[in-house]
Copies of this chain bind each other. A is one copy, B any other.
Amino acid sequence: MLKTSDAAIADVAEYMANLGSRARTAASEIARASTAQKNAALQAIAREIDARLDPVMEANAADLQAGEKRGLDAPLLDRLELTPARIDAMIDGLLQVANLDDPVGLISELKYRPSGIQVGRMRVPLGVIGIIYESRPNVTCEAASLCLKAGNATILRGGSEAINSNRAIADCIVHGLREAGLSPDVVQVVGTTDREAVGKLISMPEYVDVIVPRGGKGLIERISRDARVPVIKHLDGNCHVYIDQHADLNKALSITINAKTQRYGTCNTLESLLVAKSIADRVLPELAGQFSEHGVELRGCAATLKILPDAIPATEQDWEEEYLAPILSIKIVQDLDEAIGHINKYSSQHTDAIITENYDSAQRFIREVDSSSVMVNASTRFADGFEYGLGAEIGISTDKLHARGPVGLEGLTSQKYIVLGDGNLRQ
């Protein structure tokens, strides 16, 4: 069982090794669990959260109170808060994950080889996944449910400011797992706020197969630098829209406005707009008018300032910035080549879009822009596991290896080879 008091944990390294060892054992159990059993566990956890609404809300109230005392700022307190609506969303999320197809065991490309063997690939769980996250306690439930459905054991390390909420949710998860006849060690929440626990969690390759950090850039950079196991990470989203000289102006306007203003704080929000020189004076004034209505501050290159004298001069730093705010940088480029070059230099390789009616521009953009999502005539805001049909996502990877872009259940598994023979020998 989980130790729920810091006082009880004298030796953090030993405590984490114990968690890891139990997770490793639980991982083989959940790896061979049937789809029905995993779904039953998800449904049982949903019921437990519903039944334990009061203690979960009380635990959250304690975190909020402590947070206010510690002087946490309003956005942080907002992320920390579990409203009844957010708890309902957690419950819905669990049931949605239960409804997703089980990725484990899927065999693909099974084919006969000249030697007579059949060779194919089977999708299998990764093993033990360590999740490190900040403030939002609903991540406890979201992350655990996805990892569980993909047949993995999980060790969750939330922020110290949410420790009571996370423990209360963990209680629900443990009861749900038990109800479904699964080991409670399939999902473990680190029961100490000691920072050493994170250092240990990311350096136990014998117990942990992959780390998924969710949080600010600082946290993720630190974890990537120090981890001794692979990390599936999302650093930042400096997303571009390039309005090609062959763009349909209506699409250019509506997509650019949507990509920037539909939500400001998300990683797939437009941060930097590129406009082909030959079309700039036809598109920028109208765009600037609409952005002004939305209260979006525009920061432009020298050429942009000639068309939009009210814009603020952009600095080199602006091309690299993920504002997460009503600010947009604008650069006029000579042509498609310069646009692709600029994006491949400054983009965070998250999501970049071209607006064009030209076949060749579209083809080249798709092929040559080296980002996890590359779009033609669509808003960058679509870069999202739900919009892509993954059912749910644990994050959006800006890495190249393993999972790139929105990571759903498939990204929490890998493929092994299976060979079916009939006594075949190697010649």
Contact = CB atoms under 8 A, between A and B. Distances in A.
Interface string A398-427: 011110111000000011111111111110
B401 A405 contact: no
A210 interface: yes
B387 A417 contact: no
A383 B421 CA distance: 12
A373 B414 CA distance: 12
A32 B367 contact: yes
Instruction: State the main secondary structure of chain A at its contact with B.
Output: mixed
Contacts of A259: 426
A258 B426 contact: yes
A278 interface: no
A220 interface: no
Contacts of A425: 254-255, 258, 262, 379, 381
B113 A387 contact: yes
Contacts of A424: 255, 377-379, 382
A190 interface: no
A283 B99 CA distance: 47
A374 B418 contact: yes
A171 interface: no
B423 A119 contact: no
B258 A32 contact: no
Contacts of A255: 423-425
Contacts of A367: 32, 105, 122
A366 B122 contact: yes
Nearest to A230: B401
Nearest to A372: B416
Given A113-B389, A381-B426, A387-B113, A376 B124 contact: no
Contacts of A366: 122, 418
A377 B248 contact: no
Contact of A389 (B119, B124, B254, B375): B119
Given A383-B417, A426-B258, A127 B374 contact: no
Nearest to A373: B417
Interface string A110-139: 010101010100101011000000000000
Closest 3 CB pairs of A and B: A378-B421, A381-B426, A251-B423
Given A127-B400, A225-B228, A248-B423, 11 more contacts: A28-B344, A113-B388, A113-B389, A119-B387, A127-B370, A230-B399, A254-B423, A262-B426, A375-B418, A375-B419, A400-B414
Interface of A: 28, 31-32, 105, 111, 113, 115, 117, 119, 122, 124, 126-127, 209-210, 225, 228, 230, 248, 250-251, 254-255, 258-259, 262, 344, 353, 366-368, 370-379, 381-383, 387-389, 399-402, 404-406, 414-426
